[in-house]
C-alpha cells in the first residue's frame, strides 16, 4: 500500500525540443505523445509541459528550457521527462550542469525511450548514450566544416553574419556595401581621434545606425568591427588567410594605428579563459573534498598557462597544489585508452551497458502507438454502436470519419516505426567500434578527449601523494580495475612551481557527483 501511494505522488514535467534543420528527428507532438504514454504506464502525473521549437541542444539559450530550470526551484515536481536524453542537451557539459542543478532540488531526468536504471549499470549506459550522441554530432559538424573550408579556399563566404560594410554577390563573394562601409570608416576615424568606445557607440546610435544584424551598436559589436582584419582586404576563415582577396574598406596603416591605440588604452585586467577543461565537474581535491576548477595564469614572461585548482585553495583555505591541465588530462586519457586496448575489457564494458537493454521488449514508441490505436478503436466502436441504435447526426458522421482517418494514420506510423526498429538499440559491436574510433580520433582532434573522459570517467580525486580515478563501469573482472590509483611520481610531474599562483579566469565549473570514500586498488601498472 505505501508503495502505491508513493507512485501516485510522483509528479513530472515534460521537456521536448525540435530542431528545424533535423527533418528526421521526432516532432514535438511525437515526443509529447511518447512521454505522456510513459507517464500513464508508470503512474506519473504530468503537471506541466515545456517545448522549444527549432532550437539546438548545443546551446543552452532555450527559453522554455531555462524557464523549466527556474521553475524547478518553486514548482513541485520530481521528474523531468524527455523523449530521449539528447533532447535534454546534446552537449554533455550543459547536460551534467543542469542535471546537477535539478538534483539539488531532488529532481532527476528520465528518458521515456531509453531504459536506464538509477544504478552503476544505468550510469554507464547513460554516459555511453550521451557520449555516442556527441560523437556522431561532432562527426557531422566535421563534415559540415570540411564543406565550408572548401568554400573558404575559393574565397567564398563560409557562413555566418556578413561583416558590416560588406554584402554577398550571386557567387557568395564579399563585395562592398557602400552605405554600410561609410559607417565602418566613420568608426575607425572616431577611434583614431581618440574617442572612447562609449562616445563612438552613442554617436552611432544617435544617428540610428545599426550593426550587421540590424540592431543598435553595443560594446561587443564595436570591438568586433575595430578588430576585424577583413576590412584591410584579408580573407579570414579559421586557419585560412588570403591577402588582397576581398575589397578593402580600411587601409592597413589605419587599421594598425587603431590596434596600437586600443592596446595602449587596454588595462591589465583578468583574462577571460575560453579554454575547455575536460575534467570540469569530475575533479575533486583529496585533502578537503572540494571541487577543482579550471584556471589560467600568466607568467612573468607573459606566457599563458592552464591549471586545475582546488576551490578552497583559491580561497587560501587548503594547502593543495595546482595541477597542470594538459598533463593531467593526457594521463587520464592514456590510462583509459590502455584499458580499452584490451578486447576483453571492451567486451565486459559492453555487456554491462547491454544489460539494461537485454530484456527490452517492443519499442516504447510502437507500444504508445498501439495504445492510441486501441483507444481510437474503442471510440470508433462506440460511435458505430450509437448509429446502429438510431443516433444518426452530422456530428456523429464527422466523428466517425475523423476517427477512421486518425486510425489509418496511426497504423501507417506503426508500420514506419517497425521498419526503423532496431536502430535505437546498442550492440556490443556498436560500443566496440565507438571506443576504437574515439581512441583513434584522440590523435587528431582534442574534442574527442572530452567524449572519452565523459563516457567512462566518473570522477578523479587528487590526493597529496596519488591520484584516484573512478570509472563508470563495475569492477567485475581483474582487468576492469575500479578505482585506479596512480602513483605519486606522475603527480610530482604535474604540480605547479612553488610560489606561482595563477590569475583567476572564468571558472567553468559544476559538480557531477558527490565525492565518495571508496577504497583504492593497488598502484596502476604503467605497463
If pLDDT is split at 50, 70 and 90, which confidence band does 511 have? very low
Q: What is the pLDDT of residue 96?
A: 72
Flag whether 132 is in a domain: no
**Which residues share a beta bridge with 305?**
297
Q: Is the pTM of this model over 0.85?
A: no
Q: Would you say residue 58 lies in a domain?
A: yes
pLDDT at 268 over 50: no
Is residue 138 in a domain? no
Within a domain: 252: yes
Residue after which a domain boundary falls, among 391, 419, 447:
419
Q: Where is pLDDT greater, at 71 or 421?
A: 71
Instruction: Look at residues 492, 141, 208 and name the one whose alpha carbon lies nearest to residue 331.
Output: 492
Beta strands in 170-302 (DSSP E): 174-176, 235-237, 240-242, 283-285, 292-298
- Residue-wise pLDDT tens digits, 106-127: 898 998 887 665 556 566 766 7
Contact 501, 512 (CB under 8 A): no
pLDDT of residue 497 exceeding 50, the answer is no
Q: Give residue 519's pLDDT.
A: 33
Q: Are residues 74 and 7 in the same domain?
A: yes
Rg (CA), the chain: 29
* CA-angle at 47, arms to 46 and 48, nearest 5°: 100
The residue among 139 and 438 whose pLDDT is bigger is 438
Q: What is the pLDDT of residue 48?
A: 92
In this structure, the answer to whether residues 66 and 184 fall within a common structural domain is no
Q: What residues make up the domain containing 101?
A: 2-113
DSSP state of 297: E
Whether the predicted pLDDT of 41 surpasses 60: yes
- On whether both 249 and 289 belong to a single domain, the answer is no
Tell me the pLDDT tens digit for each residue of 209-224: 888 888 889 988 899 9
Do 178 and 324 share a domain, yes or no?
no
In a domain, 121, yes or no: no
Residues 404, 356 share a domain: no
Calculate mean pLDDT across residues 483-504: 58
Residue 81: other Cβ atoms inside 10 A: 25
pLDDT digits (tens, 9 = 90+) for 123-143: 676 677 667 666 666 665 555
Find the helix packing angle between 364-388 and 28-41, rounded to 10°: 90
Identify which of 378, 392, 511, 365 has the alpha carbon closest to the alpha carbon of residue 34: 365
Residue 68, domain CATH: 3.40.50.1390
Q: What percent of the chain has pLDDT over 70?
A: 70
Using a 10 angstrom Cβ sphere, with 0-12 exposed, 13-18 middle and 19 or more buried, the burial of residue 207 is: exposed
Task: Rounding to the nearest 10 degrees, give the CA dihedral for residues 346, 351, 352, 358.
Answer: 150
Q: Is the pLDDT of residue 15 over 90?
A: yes
One domain, residues 352 and 448 = yes
CATH code of the domain covering residue 206: 3.90.1750.20
Residue 493 placed within a domain: yes
Residues 414, 429 within the same domain: no
pLDDT at 193 over 80: no
| 393 shares its domain with 293 | no
Most confident of 50-54, 193-197, 311-315, 317-321: 317-321
Cβ atoms within 10 Å, residue 28: 17
Same domain, 290 and 185: no
Query: Is 90 exceeded by the pLDDT of residue 479?
Result: no
Q: Residues 318, 432: one domain?
A: yes
Report yes or no on 122 lying in a domain: no
Asked whether the beta carbons of 56 and 65 are under 8 A apart, the reply is: no
Q: How many CB atoms lie within 10 A of CB 440?
A: 11
Instruction: Verify that 472 and 515 share a domain, yes or no.
Output: yes
Amino acid 142: pLDDT: 59
Give the angle subtended at the CA of 277 by the CAs of 274 and 282, to the nearest 5°. Answer: 145
pLDDT at 3 exceeding the cut of 60: no
How does DSSP assign 145-204, residue by residue? HHHHHHHHHTT---SSPPPTTEEE-TTS-EEE-HHHHHHHHHHHHHHHTT--HHHHHHHH
Longest dimension (CA), the chain: 94
Instruction: Tell me the mean pLDDT in the region 305-330.
Output: 86
Only one residue has cell 527559453, namely 63
pLDDT confidence of residue 516? 30
Instruction: With respect to residue 481, please indicate whether it lies within any of the assigned structural domains.
Output: yes
DSSP-H helix ranges across 317-446:
325-340, 343-354, 364-388, 394-420, 428-441
If one counts the domains in the chain, the total is 4
Are 281 and 254 contained in the same domain?
Answer: no
Q: Who has greater pLDDT, 403 or 270?
A: 403
Q: Are 376 and 403 in contact (CB under 8 A)?
A: yes
- Give the range among 234-243, 453-462, 498-507 with minimum mean pLDDT: 498-507
Q: Using the predicted structure, report yes or no on whether residue 82 has a pLDDT greater than 80.
A: yes
Give whichever of 13-17, 358-362, 445-449 has the largest mean pLDDT: 13-17
Backbone phi, psi, residue 96, to 5°? -65, -40
**pLDDT the model gives residue 422:** 46
Winning range, highest mean pLDDT, from 53-67, 173-187, 511-525:
173-187
Amino acid at each position: 500500500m505505501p508503495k502505491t501511494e508513493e507512485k501516485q505522488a510522483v509528479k513530472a514535467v515534460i521537456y521536448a525540443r525540435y530542431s528545424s534543420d533535423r527533418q528526421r528527428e521526432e516532432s514535438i507532438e511525437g515526443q509529447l505523445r511518447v512521454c505522456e504514454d510513459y507517464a500513464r504506464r508508470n503512474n506519473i502525473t504530468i503537471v506541466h509541459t515545456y517545448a522549444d521549437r527549432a532550437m539546438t541542444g548545443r546551446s543552452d539559450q532555450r527559453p522554455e528550457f531555462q524557464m523549466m530550470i527556474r521553475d524547478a526551484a518553486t514548482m513541485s515536481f520530481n521528474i523531468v521527462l524527455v523523449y530521449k536524453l539528447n533532447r535534454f542537451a546534446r552537449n554533455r557539459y550543459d547536460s551534467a550542469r543542469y542535471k546537477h542543478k535539478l538534483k539539488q532540488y531532488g529532481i532527476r531526468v528520465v528518458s521515456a525511450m531509453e531504459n536506464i536504471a538509477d544504478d552503476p549499470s544505468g550510469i554507464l549506459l547513460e554516459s555511453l548514450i550521451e557520449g555516442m550522441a556527441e560523437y556522431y554530432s561532432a562527426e557531422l559538424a566535421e563534415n559540415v566544416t570540411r564543406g565550408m573550408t572548401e568554400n573558404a579556399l575559393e574565397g567564398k563566404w563560409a557562413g555566418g553574419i556578413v561583416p558590416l560594410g560588406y554584402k554577398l554577390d550571386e557567387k557568395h563573394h564579399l563585395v562592398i556595401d557602400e552605405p554600410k562601409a561609410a559607417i565602418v570608416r566613420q568608426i575607425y576615424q572616431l577611434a583614431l581621434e581618440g574617442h572612447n568606445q562609449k562616445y563612438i557607440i552613442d554617436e552611432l546610435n544617435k544617428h540610428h545606425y545599426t550593426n550587421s544584424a540590424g540592431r543598435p551598436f553595443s560594446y561587443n559589436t564595436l570591438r568586433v568591427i575595430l578588430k576585424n582584419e577583413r576590412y584591410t582586404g584579408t580573407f579570414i576563415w579559421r586557419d585560412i588567410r588570403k591577402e588582397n582577396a576581398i575589397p578593402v574598406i580600411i587601409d592597413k596603416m589605419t587599421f594598425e594605428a587603431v590596434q596600437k591605440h586600443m592596446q595602449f588604452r587596454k588595462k591589465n585586467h583578468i583574462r577571460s579563459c575560453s579554454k575547455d577543461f575536460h575534467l570540469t565537474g569530475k575533479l575533486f581535491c583529496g585533502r578537503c573534498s572540494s571541487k577543482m576548477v579550471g584556471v589560467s595564469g600568466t607568467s612573468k614572461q607573459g606566457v599563458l598557462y592552464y591549471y586545475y585548482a582546488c576551490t578552497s585553495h583559491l580561497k587560501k583555505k587548503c594547502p593543495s597544489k595546482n595541477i597542470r591541465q594538459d598533463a593531467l588530462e593526457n594521463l587520464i586519457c592514456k590510462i583509459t585508452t590502455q584499458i580499452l586496448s584490451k578486447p576483453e575489457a571492451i567486451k565486459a564494458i559492453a555487456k554491462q551497458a547491454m544489460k539494461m537493454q537485454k530484456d527490452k521488449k517492443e519499442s516504447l514508441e510502437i507500444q504508445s502507438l498501439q495504445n492510441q490505436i486501441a483507444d481510437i478503436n474503442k471510440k470508433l466502436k462506440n460511435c458505430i454502436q450509437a448509429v446502429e441504435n438510431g443516433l444518426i447526426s452530422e456530428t456523429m458522421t464527422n466523428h466517425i470519419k475523423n476517427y477512421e482517418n486518425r486510425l489509418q494514420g496511426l497504423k501507417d506510423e506503426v508500420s514506419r516505426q517497425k521498419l526503423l526498429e532496431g536502430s535505437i538499440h546498442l550492440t556490443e559491436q556498436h560500443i566496440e567500434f565507438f571506443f576504437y574510433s574515439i581512441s583513434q580520433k584522440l590523435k587528431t582532434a582534442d574534442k574527442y578527449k572530452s567524449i572519452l573522459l565523459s563516457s567512462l570517467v566518473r570522477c578523479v580525486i587528487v590526493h597529496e601523494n596519488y591520484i584516484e580515478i573512478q570509472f563508470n563501469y563495475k569492477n567485475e573482472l581483474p582487468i576492469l580495475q575500479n578505482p585506479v590509483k596512480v602513483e605519486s611520481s606522475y603527480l610530482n610531474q604535474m604540480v605547479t612551481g612553488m610560489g606561482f599562483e595563477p590569475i583567476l579566469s572564468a571558472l567553468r565549473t559544476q559538480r557531477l557527483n558527490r565525492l565518495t570514500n571508496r577504497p583504492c586498488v593497488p598502484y596502476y601498472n604503467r605497463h
